[in-house]
Structure 1
């Protein structure tokens, strides 16, 4: 895993780069958050969809809700960049839509959009 910092003005986003699944359960997400904060001091994280287990996108597992709640409790903003169009679940599409309307979590098709969303958050 490599973590690079993307800066825009006073905003810093930790961009996590890895070729493997990094988040398969809640503890993985907490470990990732702690590692990123320790290495960079960032409270904004960008992950690629490929770094997140498919279980996350099955809302019936409650994994997404548990992870996002933990990140919210710690004041960490998260964007996941990737193609989400292949999911047939209406509840997942609604979840992504509502998340993107908020200020804490984003599911966007590309890194540029994810960085823009995270840099736009205080």
Structure 2
């Protein structure tokens, strides 16, 4: 298994999670990532979509809400990186949810790490 790596993008310390790590599938997994991020003084956790459990994308399961609440509570930012189009295609609620979270500053769904770099780049 590859390990998570700490990178700095535009003065933001980002814990970039390895694609083959444990699934982000609930509160316990969220707390593990948050603990790792805090231990490395990261401000943002970037999780590849391959590590996000399918239940997360089924909003009725409550997994996304539980995971996101932990990140908000511990003041950690979360970014899911990768193609989520197959999940969004089947759910208007999920599409609206992704749009809403991407409008804020705490939780984002972005297609690539380049998009994350662009999102963190200071304006001007």
Q: Identify the TM-score tier after normalising by the shorter chain.
A: 0.7 to 0.9
Q: Which moves more between the two structures, 87-96 or 3-12? A: 3-12
Q: Note the C-alpha offset of 1:112.
A: 1.4
Match of 2:79 in 1: 79
TM-score for both structures, normalised by structure 2? 0.86
Q: What is the DSSP-based 3-state SS (H/G/I as helix, E as strand, rest coil) of the residue aligned with 2:86? A: coil
Equivalenced residues, count? 119
Flag the 1:72–1:118 CA change in 2: closer, same or farther, 3 A: farther
SS at structure 2 position matched to 1:86: helix
Aligned to 2:109: 107
Q: Structure 2: where are the runs of 5+ without partners?
A: none
**Which 5+ residue runs of structure 1 have no aligned equivalent?**
none
- Corresponding residue of 1:91: 93
Q: Give the distance between the partners of 2:119 and 2:22, measured in 1 at CA.
A: 23
4+ residue segments displaced more than 4 Å: none
Superposed displacement of residue 6, structure 1: 1.9
Q: CA RMSD in A?
A: 1.6
Query: Which digits, 9 at most, give the CA deviation of each residue in 1:62-95, with x for residues without a partner?
Result: 1101110110111100100111111210000000
Q: How does 1:1-122 map to 2 (within 5 A)?
A: 1-38=2-39, 40-87=40-87, 88-118=90-120
